[in-house]
Amino acid sequence: MTYDFDLFVIGAGSGGIATARRAAEYGARVGIAENDRLGGTCVNRGCVPKKLMVYASHFPNIFEEARGYGWSEVKSALNWEAMITAVNKEVDRLNEIYQRMLDNSKVEVFRSHARFIDPHTIEVGDKKVTADKVLIAVGGKPFLPNILGIEHAITSNEMFHLKEQPKRIVIIGGGYIGCEFACIMNGLGTEVTQVIRGDKILRGFDDDLRTEIQAGMAHHGIRLLNNSKLIAIEKYPEGVTVSVGTGDTAETVIADVVSLAAVGRKPNIQNLGLENTGVQLHDGAIVVDKYSQTAAANIYAVGDCTDTIQLTPVAINEGRAFADTVFGGKSRVMSYENVPSAIFTTPEAATVGLTEAEAREQYGEAVKVFYTRFRPMYYTLAGKEEKTMMKLLVDGNTDKVIGAHMVGDHASEIIQGIAIALKAGATKADFDSTVGIHPTAAEEFVTLRFPRS
């Protein structure tokens, strides 16, 4: 049978675009559908604009710290509108770049919602197209809890389009999105209250990392209500009130205009016509094998709509591995071992490999923990008690480093290099024999000598 396309991609986020371009490089006829802006969550409502706001939130501290180095006092005020405008202008620029990249790759772009009619036929707007292979790369979307008044809350999607800076904000959720926005808004001068269900933020991360970030956030003035249950949100002319249950008591927290719900994300698979395909779901996510293939033989899926790791670089790598295998004759699969990640809170954190709990579950008493906590040199003249935490986990039987965690300035930049070492199978002896760059915080990773008792 002759098809309109060799590959049709549903979703032009980072994973979908990377896949489309890679397949086109191999000579495939490729189409891609997107009913929103090109670039997906990361470029438009996630990694990129969020990181720009992280940078903006750091300047008040930088101004203050400079005085310890002899600089005169800086009196400066944030122009929220100017910042938001600049952030979104950069997003616009990136969208134009993605369009040019797809055009240069001769990928046909359909700016409409796509829906399966059958495994090989897709309805795109008022057209129908056919494809030999189809890739689903529709990403995820914020999840809203089912509570009274949730319609008065916003999600991370809307944070980048607020017309005015709120004086007070309540953030619901203790995951990385909630924590990052709590730190951003706190750094920009907003009074922040964060409501979390457990006793600690960042469930699933290493416990020492969680403890260190939570202490740092509290130290910087964020009010954390832990072991709390959200009861209701009510709208008033002057703002909103958030009713929170903590144990046997209830507390009402007042915010100016917004309450950010950041309790997680779920696959964005509604109205795709998956019931017409044979694609199977598990807990609302598309089930795929190691080749990103679904239960329907010609349909594949990558990124946040699947049940794999939800990170932009993972989606990109999954998509390129699929294109290499199916269209390039280079069979390969995505490796999910030692995938590094970062949390752009203040203090910043990054991690690669196993948590201590995971390491002990796999290796038992053989696990050795090397740990340090110190004040970086930068803060000595600034007179601040900011701390950096570093931690290495080692399998005592093989001396192999199986986990690395850091909280502190430039953690993401440092852990990126450490991730290469773990991916290459480095041992603790390899770390010990590496000469450190002095004076830096990063050198602590190669000077850790004695395991924590």
- Give exposure, 188-212, as e/b (b: 16+ Cβ within 10 Å): bebbbbbbbeeebbbeebbebbbeb
Q: Output the CA–CA distances (angstroms, integers) from residue 13 to 52, 53, 99, 352, 398, in the order listed.
A: 19, 21, 12, 25, 41
Structure tokens at 186: 């706190």
CB-based contacts of 281: which residues, under 8 Å, 6+ apart? 269, 274, 287
Q: Does residue 267 have a cis bond before it (omega within 30 degrees)?
A: no
Q: Are 189 and 60 in contact (CB under 8 A)?
A: yes
Question: What angle separates helix 176-187 from helix 47-66, to the nearest 10 degrees?
Answer: 40
What is the separation, in whole angstroms, between the first and last Cα of the chain?
A: 67
Question: Residue 117, exposed/middle/buried by CB under 10 A (0-12, 13-18, 19+)?
Answer: middle
Pairing of strands 191-195, 285-286: unpaired
Q: Does residue 347 have a cis bond before it (omega within 30 degrees)?
A: yes
- Give exposure, 65-75, as e/b (b: 16+ Cβ within 10 Å): beeeeeeeeee
Identify the residue whose tokens are 């290499």: 324
Determine the number of helices (DSSP H) and then strands (DSSP E) in the chain.
11, 23
What type of residue sits at position 380?
T
Q: Are 87 and 216 in contact (CB under 8 A)?
A: no
Selecting among 152, 282, 410, 438, the annotated active-site residue is 438
- Asked whether the CA dihedral 324, 330, 336, 341 is positive or negative, the reply is negative
Q: Is 438 one of the annotated active-site residues of the chain? A: yes
Q: Are 88 and 218 in contact (CB under 8 A)?
A: no
HSE of 90 in the Cβ direction (CA atoms, 13 Å)? 17
What type of residue sits at position 30?
V
Report, as residue numbers or ranges, the catalytic residues.
Answer: 438
